[in-house]
């Protein structure tokens, strides 16, 4: 088995005795190290002996007939999930040296399923960004072209999966942070419904939007992972207590592509999205081809309108900073976070610690958020944004009454050169297609559908009804059985 194999191929190899956890974990480690100067995908790596010992235990358990679903599979976690055995930084100077006394629920559940975390991946500081350029540790880079962004904020996780360092990784998605990097790196990424997966132990950015997500090389692999992490957690009051379907079992019973398994499904397209300013022509062409493929697989295409969709970005960039300004108030240099060395009094200590600890983008969000919540401005900004959020949500809900899924672009452009976005608003506009489903709390999946003229990956987004992840995974799985885009690997993955 080569490192180029997918999660399910590696599981099969382990089950057939063709690979050992020890060999897979050693290989993942070696690749992570070798590619670090090129990709900067990791913020920390586990000690090789520590991972090797975990892999040895996994091999022993397998030899004793233990059947954990992900036993011996190397994975990586976005460095926004707290972990006891590795530091957690949120890519911020603020949290340098922080070690959590507990594991995030997602981390715990994947470990319980037998996965072995080899490291923590790079991200935009506190998950604020669309390109992974705002990391205290420097930008992560795109495996298809390391002069370009991998997408953000979960850029390191996407780069690590695309470069075949690990077959799967965790991410978080507040306004697109799983879907955008998945699209820019040519892999599959899922943002589940708000409430589907526990957020316990994910460092909070915007609590009404944050959700855990997953990266892998196919919808099938995501189904295997989601089965493990989804479900109620008493430690997260926003996690919903509803049954978790057996996603892999559902996918396993789908008819093959030649039987047109999507007959009876209605897939909605949104003409106003396709006519939006600045959408790259090869993205439109790839999306049109994907639409035809879905049609050939049996789906009926319906045109939908999404009223107020163009207001999603302004509403999000009020709500998310407002919540961030409140969530990040805890980093005061006393209970949490970096503490300045020089100060005269307590107030100066707070100010100086925060001035030193946070990067520019985080400071910008805190300032905006504090402003929109302040007395006299609350009604004009925050309340208004909440009203717009309701309109956006209603638009998606009624569109999803006319169809089972919506098919849209993930991004308006393919991965941009690092440093190319001249001002913050340009970067915020990159979230055009991903923010709506976040405001509405809907599940959305990004999967590869082609390449642009420069050879950079293009993704499609499919958006579903609340808690209907099974349908998203099924659609993407059927598409992936009929096409090969998800199998493409960047040349650097063969190193
Ligand atoms: N780009 C968006 C932001 O900066 C979304 C980031 C995310 O999903 N964490 O807020």
Asked if 477 and 179 count as a contact pair (C-beta separation under 8 A), the reply is: no
d(CA 260, CA 241): 34
- Interior CA angle at 184 toward 413 and 166, to 5°? 180
Which contiguous run of DSSP H or E holds residue 38? helix 21-39
As beta bridge partners, residue 172 has 212
Reduce the DSSP state of residue 328 to 3 states and report it. helix
Compute, in angstroms, the gap from residue 131 CA to the centroid of ligand 1. 9
Write out pLDDT tens, residues 1-21: 466 789 999 999 999 999 999
d(CA 460, CA 111): 30
Compute, in angstroms, the gap from residue 201 CA to the centroid of ligand 1. 18
My answer on whether omega of the bond before 415 falls inside 30° of 0, hence cis, is no
* Ligand 1 atom with the shortest distance to the CA of 431: 1
* Ligand 1 atom with the shortest distance to the CA of 320: 10
Per-residue buried b or exposed e for 463-478, using 16+ beta carbons within 10 Å of the residue's own CB = bbbbbbbbbbbbbbbb
473 Cβ partners below 8 Å, 6+ apart? 190, 219, 220, 222, 223, 226, 247, 250, 251, 445
d(CA 303, CA 293): 17
- Interior CA angle at 158 toward 155 and 164, to 5°? 135
14 Cβ partners below 8 Å, 6+ apart? 20, 21, 24, 62, 71, 72, 73
**Confidence (pLDDT) at 2:** 62
d(CA 51, CA 22): 8
The domain locations on the chain are 7-254+471-494
Q: How confident is the model at residue 241 (pLDDT cuts 50, 70, 90)?
A: very high
Per DSSP bridges, beta strands 168-173 and 211-216 are antiparallel
* Ligand 1 atom with the shortest distance to the CA of 129: 4
To test the ligand 1 pocket, which listed residue (134, 174, 410) has its Cβ within 8 A of the most ligand atoms? 174
Reduce the DSSP state of residue 120 to 3 states and report it. strand
Which residues are identified as catalytic? Answer: 78, 153, 177
CB atoms within 10 A of CB 396: 24
Asked if 189 and 181 count as a contact pair (C-beta separation under 8 A), the reply is: yes
To test the ligand 1 pocket, which listed residue (135, 171, 177) has its Cβ within 8 A of the most ligand atoms? 177
Minimum CA distance residue for ligand 1 atom 5? 175
To test the ligand 1 pocket, which listed residue (127, 320, 416) has its Cβ within 8 A of the most ligand atoms? 127
Write out pLDDT tens, residues 120-175: 999 999 999 999 999 999 999 999 999 999 999 999 999 999 999 999 999 999 99
Write out pLDDT tens, residues 193-220: 999 999 999 999 999 999 999 999 999 9
When pLDDT is averaged across residues 243-263 and rounded to a whole number, the result is: 98
Asked if 350 and 330 count as a contact pair (C-beta separation under 8 A), the reply is: no
**Confidence (pLDDT) at 277:** 87
Minimum CA distance residue for ligand 1 atom 10? 128
pLDDT at 244 over 90: yes
Compute, in angstroms, the gap from residue 83 CA to the centroid of ligand 1. 22
pLDDT at 336 over 90: no
pLDDT at 59 over 70: yes
Question: How far from 85 is each of 28, 336, 437, CA to CA, in Å?
Answer: 18, 19, 34
When pLDDT is averaged across residues 469-493 and rounded to a whole number, the result is: 97
To test the ligand 1 pocket, which listed residue (153, 158, 171) has its Cβ within 8 A of the most ligand atoms? 153
Write out pLDDT tens, residues 398-423: 999 999 999 999 999 999 999 999 89
Write out pLDDT tens, residues 362-378: 999 999 999 999 989 99
* Ligand 1 atom with the shortest distance to the CA of 361: 4
Asked if 265 and 475 count as a contact pair (C-beta separation under 8 A), the reply is: yes
d(CA 8, CA 31): 20
Asked if 462 and 472 count as a contact pair (C-beta separation under 8 A), the reply is: yes
SS3 content of the chain, % helix, strand, coil (to 5): 45, 15, 45
Q: Where are the alpha helices (DSSP H) in 297-382?
A: 312-327, 346-357, 360-373
Sheet holding 74-78, edge to edge: 42-45, 116-121, 74-78, 168-173, 211-216, 188-191, 444-451, 457-463, 405-409, 266-269, 300-303
Question: What is the pLDDT of the chain when averaged over all its residues?
Answer: 97
d(CA 243, CA 471): 15
When pLDDT is averaged across residues 22-43 and rounded to a whole number, the result is: 97
Backbone angles phi, psi at 322, to 5 degrees: -60, -50
Taking alpha carbons only, the member of 144, 44, 141, 45 closest to residue 95 is 44
Which contiguous run of DSSP H or E holds residue 180? helix 179-185
Compute, in angstroms, the gap from residue 181 CA to the centroid of ligand 1. 11
* CATH class of the domain comprising 7-254+471-494: alpha beta
Compute, in angstroms, the gap from residue 252 CA to the centroid of ligand 1. 34
Write out pLDDT tens, residues 337-366: 899 999 999 999 999 999 999 999 999 999
d(CA 259, CA 431): 36
Compute, in angstroms, the gap from residue 186 CA to the centroid of ligand 1. 19
Backbone angles phi, psi at 190, to 5 degrees: -125, 130
* Ligand 1 atom with the shortest distance to the CA of 209: 8
Reduce the DSSP state of residue 262 to 3 states and report it. coil
Compute, in angstroms, the gap from residue 309 CA to the centroid of ligand 1. 17
CB atoms within 10 A of CB 359: 19
Which contiguous run of DSSP H or E holds residue 32? helix 21-39
Which residues' Cβ are closer than 6 Å to ligand 1? 127-130, 153, 173-177, 205, 320, 431
Burial of residue 208 (number of CB atoms within 10 Å: 0-12, 13-18, 19+): middle
Write out pLDDT tens, residues 69-117: 999 999 999 999 999 999 999 999 999 999 999 999 999 999 999 999 9
Compute, in angstroms, the gap from residue 265 CA to the centroid of ligand 1. 31
């Amino acid at each position: 088995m080569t490192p180029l194999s997918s999660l399910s191929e590696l599981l099969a190899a382990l089950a057939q005795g063709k690979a050992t956890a020890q060999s897979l974990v050693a290989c993942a480690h070696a690749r992570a190290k070798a590619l670090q100067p090129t990709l900067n995908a990791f913020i920390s790596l586990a000690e090789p002996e520590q991972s090797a010992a975990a892999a040895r235990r996994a091999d022993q358990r397998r030899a004793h007939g233990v059947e954990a679903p992900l036993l011996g599979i190397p994975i990586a976690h976005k460095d926004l999930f707290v972990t006891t055995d590795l530091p957690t930084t949120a890519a911020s100077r603020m949290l340098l040296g922080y070690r959590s006394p507990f594991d995030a629920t997602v981390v715990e559940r994947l470990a319980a399923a037998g996965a072995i975390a080899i490291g923590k991946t790079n991200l935009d500081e506190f998950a604020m960004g669309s390109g992974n350029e705002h990391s205290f540790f420097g930008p992560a880079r795109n495996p298809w072209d390391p002069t370009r962004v991998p997408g953000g904020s979960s850029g390191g996780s996407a780069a690590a999966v695309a470069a075949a360092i690990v077959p799967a990784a965790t991410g978080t998605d507040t306004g697109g942070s799983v879907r955008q990097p998945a699209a820019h790196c040519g892999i599959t990424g899922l943002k589940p419904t708000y409430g589907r997966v526990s957020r316990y132990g994910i460092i909070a950015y915007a609590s009404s939007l944050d959700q855990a997500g997953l990266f892998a090389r196919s919808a099938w692999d995501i189904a295997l992972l989601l089965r493990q992490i989804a479900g109620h957690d008493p430690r997260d009051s926003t996690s919903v207590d509803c049954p978790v379907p057996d996603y892999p079992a559902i996918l396993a019973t789908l008819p093959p592509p030649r039987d047109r398994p999507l007959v009876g499904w209605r897939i909605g397209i949104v003409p106003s999205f396709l006519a939006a300013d600045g959408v790259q022509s090869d993205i439109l062409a790839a999306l049109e081809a994907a639409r035809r493929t879905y049609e050939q697989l049996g789906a009926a295409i319906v045109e939908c309108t999404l009223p107020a969709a163009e207001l999603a970005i302004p509403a999000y960039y009020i709500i998310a900073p407002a919540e961030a300004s409140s969530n990040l108030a805890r980093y005061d240099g006393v209970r949490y976070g970096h503490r300045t060395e020089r100060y005269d009094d307590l107030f100066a200590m707070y100010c100086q610690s925060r001035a030193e600890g946070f990067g520019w983008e985080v400071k910008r969000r805190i300032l905006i958020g504090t402003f929109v919540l302040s007395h006299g401005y609350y009604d004009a900004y925050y309340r208004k944004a909440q009203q717009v959020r309701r309109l956006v949500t209603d638009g998606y809900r009624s569109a999803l009454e006319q169809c089972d899924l919506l098919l849209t672009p993930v991004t308006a452009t393919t991965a941009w050169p690092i440093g190319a976005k001249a001002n913050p608003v340009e970067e915020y506009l990159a979230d055009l297609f991903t923010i709506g489903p976040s405001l509405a709390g809907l599940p959305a999946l990004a999967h590869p559908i082609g390449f642009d003229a420069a050879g950079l990956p293009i993704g499609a987004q499919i958006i579903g009804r609340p808690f209907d992840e099974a349908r998203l995974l099924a659609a993407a799985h059927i598409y992936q059985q009929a096409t090969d885009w998800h199998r493409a690997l960047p040349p650097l993955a063969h190193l």
